[in-house]
Amino acid sequence: MNHRELFFRHVAQTSPSPLAIEIVKAEGALLVDAKGKEYLDLIGGISVCNTGHRHPKVTAAIKKQVDEYLHVLVYGELVQSPQVLYAKLLTDHLPASLNTVYFTNSGAEATEGAMKLAKRVTNRPKIAAFKEAYHGSTQGALSILGDEYWRNAYRPLLPGIVHLAYNQFDSLEEVDHSTACVIAETVQAESGIMAPSKEWMQALRKRCDETGTLLVLDEIQAGFGRTGTLWAFEQFGIVPDILLLGKALGGGMPLGCFIADQKLMRQLTADPVLGHITTFGGHPVSCAAGLASLQALLDEGMMNGIREKEAFFVARLSGPLIRSVRTCGLWMAVEFDSFDINQQVISRCLERGLLTDWFLFAPQCMRIAPPLVLTGQQIEQACAIITGSINEIAGA
Ligand code: PLP
């Protein structure tokens, strides 16, 4: 059996039609398959590869760490320099109240940890989340996922969850003195890049303050420069009580975290002790990779020019079949009339060497979330492939 056959035979499948392309190499914004065909990567591993695939400083940091130690002990016992130095770099670039990092293996685990922490800190039973929100696929994260189709088959879910309308002032009234936390994406990803108004975000912060509710912002997709600032919440003039990071956090290695003030985080050390346990969370190789990746993002000014790149895309993405283009930095949803049209565009792009996909709750929208290092020439090439594919479909 070849690798593709083994993939279908022995690797658990969750998609009825996986891409099933065998990748043999990735670098910058390019992927190469087993036949030597190159693909321009317009989704960066779904907002993971912000500094590009295999950034040389990231691979060097990984190699160095591999030569020193791999896993040594469960989370939180030993001093591991990649972990502490990464926690320092992250908190140096965050507001003073976000000063303590709990590293996990994934975004979903960061969500779980934050939900538990909010319950411990407030001693309250209720959690508010938003419609069309995605925070992960584990039971707790699934319980706050904002779409009935995706969660219904897994009932019973966690009790005490309410789903509010995002970016709607009325919905804030449901945040009350029994609410432990409100969990929101700073910019909703899977609903097709929906940024709320600054006024609403500030009203949400105010409502949380009035009711003693913790505000948890999920920047697992929005973080690390994707929206044009290091953190998306900077654009709203507010600070969350707990910040969730993942995806680009590990520079291509698995890593998540939740970040809060030490006063809050201390709750996890008593009654019960070991309030949140992980064997591999904050793995030294993942932390070494993430640390090098964030340092490269900052040192190499990768956030410079994001607005220009965004405008460059927007100027070139017009024509038949496109209903709208929603953008937030190098993060876009190109909207068509239907999932069917979107799928046709996506598969023609793939044939022409461009990798993109759709959004969970907006299947009619095509995702653009490339490595931030995408060049002007690559944007030109990507847009030519997209518009060429669309024209072909429109003319057919
Ligand atoms: N939150 C958001 C906004 C996400 O997009 C995702 C993953 O797509 C997650 C949480 C969950 O992260 P992970 O897949 O690492 O568990």
* 319 CA → ligand 1 middle, Å: 32
Q: What is the per-residue pLDDT for 67?
A: 98
User: What pLDDT is attached to residue 319?
Assistant: 82
Rg of the chain's alpha carbons, rounded to an integer? 21
Domains and CATH numbers, the chain: 3-54+302-394 (3.90.1150.10), 57-299 (3.40.640.10)
Expressed in angstroms and rounded, the spacing between residue 350 Cα and the centre of ligand 1 is: 24
Whether the full predicted model's pTM is greater than 0.95, yes or no, is: yes
What is the per-residue pLDDT for 57? 98
Positions in the chain whose pLDDT score sits under 50: none
Distance 291 CA to ligand 1 centre (A): 20
What is the DSSP track for 50-102?
Answer: TT-BT-HHHHHHHHHHHHH-S--SSTTSS--HHHHHHHHHHHHTS-TT--EEE
Helix axes 376-395, 339-351, angle to 10 degrees: 120
Ligand 1: atom nearest CA of 190 is: 5
The pLDDT, as a whole number, for residue 318 is 86
Alpha carbons 57 and 44: distance in angstroms, whole number = 18
Which residue's alpha carbon is at the smallest distance from atom 7 of ligand 1?
A: 136
Which atom of ligand 1 sits closest to the CA of residue 256? 15
